[in-house]
Amino acid sequence: MAAPLSRVISTSLRKNQTFYNRSLVVSTLPRLLNNKNAKLCDDGGENEGSEKNINLTWVLTSGGVFGVGYLLYKWRRELSDYMNSSNIGSMLLPSVHASNNFFLTDISQNRKKYNFIADVVEVTAPSVVYIEIKDQKRMDFFTGHPATTSNGSGFIVSADGLILTNAHVVVNKPNIQVKVRLQDGSTYTGVVEDVDMQSDLATVRINKTDLPVMKLGSSSNIRPGEFVVAIGSPLALSNTITSGVVSSVNRQSTELGLHHKQMGYIQTDAAITFGNSGGPLVNLSGEAIGINAMKVTAGISFAIPIDYAKEFLKKAEARRNNTGIKNTSESAKRRYMGITMLTLTPDILFELQQRNNNIPPSVRHGVLVWKVMLGSPAYISGLKAGDIVTHVNGETVVSASSIYKVLENPGALILKVVRSSEVLELRVEPEEP
């Protein structure tokens, strides 16, 4: 055991000469004890040299034991002081520090600190309304009340009950009744005051005051990639929230096949479905920067810039103050078919064909049926959302204006429709205004 001990001490203290010199005493001690000249004799004390060897053995043994103990004590103490006073401890043993930001951080505030979308919704949602269109000529089989033909959204722009929405939400057929439901669940009958079919904007007024008003922002300074929140009522589920970013700030109407109005639409990837139409597109400051208008496909939706809406509201107010007569637009006098459509430009058609294998490459033109109103002539004839109308009465359909032009003339419409790689022919009897 002594030999390994000497090697351990020598190795541990090889960098310290003082410690090494002391360890030499310990390393020579076993050899002295094993020397034949120092062994104990049993001649009863008759040999004087033997007595001296015994004394030498006792001295060396006692001194060796004491020296080893002392050296071990000193070695442990000085080694501890040396490691504490130098960087050797940090080099030999990795230091572990408990970070306050990791183990001891209070995460209870993260929900309040980082839920900025929820903060926006809390401020803006009370001013968003659900709009339901009732057909006075059709009764619901179960309730006996006028049947719901379509629904949409809107938001309050004046505390005296003025609501902004899309024109296609409230002007879609004769003999309709507009019902407006607020966030608290109360329902009011709305009156359509102003309509601009070209910009697809309309106002509805309800008999209610002291309403929460949506703050109107500016669409001229928005940036691609900016966070936005879409609030509306998809599938009649009022105050539904979706979020995304601005994909493009100025998508021209000609790119979308909307040639009747030169407008730069806001493109967003926030989910917008049928019931979102007319609802606000809100920035993180809680300001409406657009009016949700249409969805082409998943991840591609469009909103009317709020600057157009502010100009529309300004003209409508001036008209009411000067004449007191509401503007319902001559376009509303067309025969009613009951669809919302989108012109298939080459870019949009290519994108749809890439995403949907059911659209054959042979389709080069037409309009995409975006929405079919429940109970409308188009609905009764079997037309469905997602259908592509390529011909009407034998004439090629190149844009939505082709359909509008035919609706100005009497008679039924014979539509050639592409649906899931099938070509159908449907007959539609539009209603007179």
Signed CA dihedral, 60, 62, 67, 68: sign only: positive
Q: What is the pTM of this model?
A: 0.58
Residue 160 known to be catalytic: no
Tokens of residue 153, six digits: 């959204």
> pLDDT tens digit string along 5-58?
455 445 554 545 554 455 444 455 455 445 544 444 444 444 555 555 555 565
Contact 100, 149 (CB under 8 A): no
Contact 150, 172 (CB under 8 A): yes
**Structural domain spans, the chain:** 2-92, 118-205, 215-309, 334-428
Cβ-based neighbours of 146, under 8 Å, separated by 6 or more: 134, 135, 136, 138, 139, 140, 177
**What's the CATH number of domain 118-205, 3.30.200.20, 3.40.50.720, 2.40.10.10, 1.10.10.10?**
2.40.10.10
Strand partners for 280: 291
Residue 248 known to be catalytic: no
> CA–CA separation, 97 vs 110, rounded Å?
24
Q: How far is CA 393 from CA 258, 397, 406, in A?
A: 22, 10, 9
**Given the residues 199, 277, 301, 381, the one annotated as active site:** 277
215-216 vs 287-297, strand pairing mode: parallel
CATH of domain 215-309: 2.40.10.10
Q: What is the pLDDT of residue 5?
A: 47
Q: Given its phi and psi angles, is residue 355 left (phi above 0), alpha (psi -120 to 50 degrees) or beta?
A: alpha
The domain defined by 334-428 carries CATH number 2.60.120.260: no
Contact 291, 201 (CB under 8 A): yes
Q: Do domains 118-205 and 215-309 have the same CATH topology?
A: yes
- Segments in 323-358 forming alpha helices (H): 346-355
**Given the residues 200, 253, 376, 381, the one annotated as active site:** 200
Contact 375, 134 (CB under 8 A): no
**Given the residues 23, 127, 153, 168, the one annotated as active site:** 168
> pLDDT tens digit string along 56-103?
565 556 666 666 666 677 767 776 666 565 555 455 555 555 555 555
> pLDDT tens digit string along 285-310?
999 999 998 776 667 788 899 998 99
Residue 277 known to be catalytic: yes
Contact 66, 60 (CB under 8 A): no
- For the chain, the average pLDDT equals 76
Q: What is the pLDDT of residue 257?
A: 54
